[in-house]
Structure 1
Amino acid sequence: MKTCPDEPGLSANGAAMLAHARRAGLTVERVGSARVWHIHGTGVDLRVSDPRWLQPRDLRPVRR
């Protein structure tokens, strides 16, 4: 697994998905000392432990 130098322990794919979320205008926060990420913004509210499994469609607003 390639790691991301900015976030120790985070894979390159996970870092890419977090960067994609930030470019989409979403807020990305780390929750506590756990390896949990809170990604939120307009119509999106996710808590994930491993962002490398996210897909771009997961970051789209929910249709109501």
Structure 2
Amino acid sequence: MNICFHLLQNKTSWKAVIHQLNSDNFARHVLHHGGVNGLALNFSYCEQTATGKILDKSTPIGHFSVR
């Protein structure tokens, strides 16, 4: 699956190929590519729209889409 990540704070975007949709894979990409220091990352995902939110604690810090 191709995932497009977009972080709001530093306006960073990148694409990645991920074989499993799970929070551990997503967190690794966000921490590595996004320069995010938060350890309380959470992800929400909507199957209908194939989009999701990236949250640090409960604050939105970005979004992603699955293609």
Answer 1 or 2: which has greater strand percent.
2
Answer 1 or 2: which has greater helix percent.
1
Return the index of the structure with the highest Cα Rg. Answer: 1
Same fold by TM (over 0.5)? Answer: no
TM-score (norm 2): 0.36
Highest RCO, 1 vs 2 (Cα 8 Å, sep ≥ 6): 2
